[in-house]
Amino acid sequence: MSNMRKTTIKLATISLLLTCNIAQASSEVNVYSARKEALIKPLLDKFEQSTGITVNLITGKADALLQRIRIEGKASPADIFITVDAGRLQRAKEAGILQAIDSEILNANIPQNLRDSDNLWFGLSQRARTIFYSKANVNPSQLTSYEDLADKKWRGRICLRSSNNIYNQSLVASMIDNIGAEKTLTWATALVNNIAKPPAGGDTDQLKAVAAGVCDITISNTYYFGRLMNSDKADDKKVVEKVGLFWPNQNDRGVHMNVSGAGVTKYARHKDNAIKLIEFMTSAESQAWYAAVNSEFPVLETAPVSKALTSWGSFKADSIALNKLGENNRQAVELMDKAGWK
């Protein structure tokens, strides 16, 4: 065999290997997710099975992942950033780590108020941050709105998470948009005066405190209550038996809603696959899974919901554009500090 022919075969082999490597690289997508693996991996597995696209998943704390993407810059392998709360999604937008995408499927599946106004992020599931009460000590007819929790009748009867919790910050941010900063400050100050104990723990801790009689009222995301409902633990079932759910502000703006969401990163190397994955996560099948497994409400209005969600009854939801939650975040944090919300 001549040297020229050997060289030709060698070059052809190298070209074939490079083509294979490129093909393999193009059939994957890299996800940085602030959601726990158990709450997202089954969906990613289904996506892999239906498309043949490999999903590489990295999980971590939202702020840490955001900072990692910023530091990695153009070298970042991340194609999608997934996190919870519109406030955090706005942080990602302001950090400049996302890019706008145009998808007819996402525009059709996701209501306008549940996605970024510039198409930088899209809601994947909804959660209501609502009022929970002690069935033994509170008649639900006594409850009306978030604003009413500032009334003196609740003095020493309310448990809250701390002010550094993004869910509470977004609730306050929504109130700033709805009733103005001055009224929100007055409300927050009175609310803090009504707490039964210094803020500590997560949403589940607050629900358990109500069940234990430490306080009579709390504010929590609904999916935490859903997890207790779906639990096999006797102690969790006792909490559900003792705690009731109430939808506030049904005569005006509606209950405060938030989302988990996703965006395509600025330097995504697999942009098309990233868009396909986000589209898949807003499909009827994926949305039904969210509702059944995570006790979260679908963003797709036609998706079925689980028995647990149905058991909570129908309600009016605040239709505020969720961009506002992030835009008002700094003001909300400053306001909570002024109110003495620790």
Of all helices (H) and strands (E), which one includes residue 288? helix 284-289
- pLDDT by residue (tens digit) across 204-254? 999 999 999 999 999 999 999 999 999 999 999 999 999 999 999 999 999
pLDDT at 8: 37
Q: 70-79 in b/e burial notation, b at 16+ Cβ within 10 A?
A: eeeeeebbbb
| CA 78 to each of CA 5, 26, 236, 268: distance values in angstroms, whole numbers, following the listed order | 42, 14, 37, 6
Provide the β-strand partners of residue 217: 133, 158
Domains and CATH numbers, the chain: 29-126+257-307 (3.40.190.10), 129-255+317-338 (3.40.190.10)
pLDDT at 39: 81
- pLDDT by residue (tens digit) across 28-39? 999 999 988 888
- pLDDT by residue (tens digit) across 49-88? 999 999 999 999 999 999 999 999 999 999 999 999 998 9
Mean pLDDT of 255-279: 97
| pTM for this entry | 0.86
- Short-list 301, 266, 256, CA closest to 118: 266
